[in-house]
């Protein structure tokens, strides 16, 4: 009996080590730098002294994973990265179309600290506009190959310009590179958010669109002489992770390093990035659920949940996941005994027991009504088009976790959503016994 117990313990340890090897080592976001406690005028940041290898001119790439928690109204230019009289990589105020929370810009500067030129994603000065929202992760990068400078958001080029001469960086001595704030005689313009995988390179790494997600393996820490600075914060210090040089960073005030598992759950990158959201179709009195993932991180699988009212959920099945994957994975599940009216959602869970929910979909075992919901994004009112018979409607709205947050009975052709918080929601319209679940909509401020 003692021998069997010992074998069981050893086997358990071996299996645990195996899963740690398979599912742990490919996850890049072990820790992050948490600056969410900053204010615009005070807080924590860090800076790096100047050296000959940091004197980049016409070939460079500055990049990081960025999470912006909030930004004071009317305050411009909290800093991602700044080198006085050379460049500033920063976030700007609300954007031209008004459907996002902020944008990001890269500006070159002259010897008097004046801006020479800039590229941006805020829709101003003729630039393209891409919405960015608070409390979401984005990969931001600016990259110059000596011919053109490009601005990238999640691997997609959002603006570009010629490098000559405005985007060739000057190389004055005496000014440090600051992260999370700037120092122009005193510290200010602190960013309120978080960073991960911050890299400063002397090469134009990105000339075309590229694929990068929170599941992408971390940047190499050895064998890359073009990486001047790399901070992944996994050691809970400001150690430069590249072997190219030995620069030592200095913190301004106390920095907070947080395990990804210790960061609030609503701030974590999704362990599963969906390529196709959950959908439901009827076939031979059965319901087929389909979905596809673009990336998976430590994904053990999906519990399929069903509800008759969108509130009380039951487990009706399980589908295994791919563990870690950067390839598109197609999934389906057949509900052989559906209810007359069915709400479905996926409860994804990973190998350490953490769970996230998919969008909620609805399907009834009868015909759906033909209605449209607009506008999207919406600020105050959602309109319902197609209620030609003027029947009284019951409208239910769910948050991104599948929880019902609003129900309006006897609605006609519009619903007041002004009291909802900014975010992503799903809406269900009920006309008698016929229902239709809409695509998701975005509630703005």
* Highest averaged pLDDT of the listed ranges 43-47, 96-100, 394-398: 43-47
* Highest averaged pLDDT of the listed ranges 26-35, 80-89, 218-227, 319-328: 80-89
Higher per-residue confidence, 427 vs 180: 180
Largest pairwise CA distance in the chain: 80
**Which segment of 35-39, 368-372, 426-430 scores lowest on mean pLDDT?**
368-372
Mean pLDDT of 349-362: 77
Could you report the per-residue pLDDT of 45-67, keeping only the tens digit for each?
Answer: 999 987 777 788 899 999 999 99
2 three-state secondary structure: helix
**Count of Cβ atoms closer than 10 Å to residue 390 Cβ:** 8
Mean pLDDT of 114-142: 83
pLDDT number for residue 105? 93
Higher per-residue confidence, 398 vs 302: 302
pLDDT number for residue 11? 34
Segments making up each domain of the chain, as ranges: 29-266, 270-365, 366-445
pLDDT number for residue 94? 56
Q: Which of the four CATH numbers 2.70.98.60, 3.40.50.2300, 3.40.50.300, 2.60.40.1930 does domain 366-445 have?
A: 2.60.40.1930
Query: Which DSSP state fits 5?
Result: H
Dump strand ranges (E) for 131-221. Answer: 137-145, 148-153, 156-162, 177-179, 182-183, 187-188, 193-201
Could you report the per-residue pLDDT of 197-225, keeping only the tens digit for each?
Answer: 999 999 999 999 988 876 677 777 766 78
pLDDT confidence bin for 264, thresholds 50/70/90: low
Query: Which DSSP state fits 6?
Result: H
Could you report the per-residue pLDDT of 67-97, keeping only the tens digit for each?
Answer: 998 887 666 689 999 999 999 999 987 555 5
* pTM (two decimals): 0.58
pLDDT confidence bin for 17, thresholds 50/70/90: very low
- Round to whole Å and give the CA distance between 257 and 195: 10
Q: Which two tokens mark 33?
A: 């730098």
Residue 15 and residue 21 in contact, taking contact as beta carbons nearer than 8 Å: no
Cα–chain center distance at 443: 17
Select from 110, 95, 109, 192 the least CA-distant residue to 153: 95
Q: Which of the four CATH numbers 2.60.40.10, 3.90.1150.10, 3.40.1010.20, 3.20.20.70 does domain 270-365 have?
A: 2.60.40.10
**Contact partners, residue 380, CB within 8 Å, separation at least 6:** 416, 417, 418
**Contact partners, residue 239, CB within 8 Å, separation at least 6:** 231
Bridge partners of residue 46, in order along the sequence = 179, 251
pLDDT number for residue 80? 97
Topology agreement, domain 270-365 and domain 366-445: yes
Bridge partners of residue 348, in order along the sequence = 302, 356
Residue 95 and residue 123 in contact, taking contact as beta carbons nearer than 8 Å: yes
Could you report the per-residue pLDDT of 270-295, keeping only the tens digit for each?
Answer: 678 788 889 888 888 889 999 998 87
Q: Looking at domain 29-266, does it have CATH number 3.30.565.10?
A: no
């Amino acid at each position: 009996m003692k021998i069997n117990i010992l074998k069981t313990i050893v086997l358990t340890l071996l299996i645990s080590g195996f899963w740690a090897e398979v599912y742990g080592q490919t996850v890049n976001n072990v820790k992050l730098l948490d600056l969410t406690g900053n204010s615009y005028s005070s807080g924590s940041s860090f800076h790096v002294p100047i050296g000959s290898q940091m004197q980049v001119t016409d070939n460079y790439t500055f990049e990081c994973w960025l999470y912006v928690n909030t930004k004071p109204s009317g305050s411009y230019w909290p800093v991602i990265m700044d080198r006085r009289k050379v460049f500033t990589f920063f976030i700007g105020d609300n954007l031209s179309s008004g459907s996002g929370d902020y944008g990001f810009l890269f500006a070159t500067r002259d010897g008097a600290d004046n801006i020479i030129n800039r590229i941006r994603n805020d829709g101003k000065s003729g630039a393209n506009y891409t919405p960015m929202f608070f409390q979401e992760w984005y990969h931001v990068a600016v990259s110059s190959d000596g011919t053109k400078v490009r601005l990238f958001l999640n691997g997609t080029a959002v603006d570009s310009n010629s490098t000559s001469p405005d985007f060739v960086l000057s190389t004055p001595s005496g000014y440090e590179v600051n992260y999370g704030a700037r120092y122009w005689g005193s510290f200010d313009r602190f960013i309120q958010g978080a960073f991960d995988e911050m890299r400063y390179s002397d090469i134009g790494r990105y000339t075309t669109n590229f694929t990068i997600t929170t599941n992408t393996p971390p940047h190499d820490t050895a064998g890359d002489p073009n990486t001047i600075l790399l901070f992944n914060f996994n050691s809970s210090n400001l150690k430069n992770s590249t072997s190219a040089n030995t620069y030592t960073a200095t913190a301004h005030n106390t920095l907070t390093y947080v395990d990804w598992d210790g960061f609030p759950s609503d701030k974590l990158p999704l362990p599963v990035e969906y390529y196709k959201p959950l959908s439901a179709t009827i076939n031979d009195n059965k319901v087929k659920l389909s979905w596809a993932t673009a990336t998976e991180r430590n994904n053990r699988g999906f519990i399929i949940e069903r509800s008759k009212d969108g509130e009380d959920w039951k487990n009706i099945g399980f589908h295994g996941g791919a563990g870690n994957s950067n390839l598109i994975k197609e999934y389906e599940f057949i509900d052989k005994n559906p209810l007359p009216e069915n709400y479905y959602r996926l409860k994804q869970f990973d190998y350490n027991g953490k769970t996230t929910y998919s969008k909620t979909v609805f399907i009834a075992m009868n015909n759906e009504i033909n209605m449209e919901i607009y506008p999207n994004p919406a600020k105050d009112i959602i309109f319902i088009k197609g209620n030609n018979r003027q029947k009284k409607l019951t409208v239910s709205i769910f948050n991104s976790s599948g929880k019902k947050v609003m129900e309006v009975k006897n609605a006609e052709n519009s619903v007041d959503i002004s009291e909802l918080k900014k975010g992503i929601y799903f809406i269900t319209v009920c006309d008698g016994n016929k229902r239709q679940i809409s695509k998701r909509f975005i509630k703005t401020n």
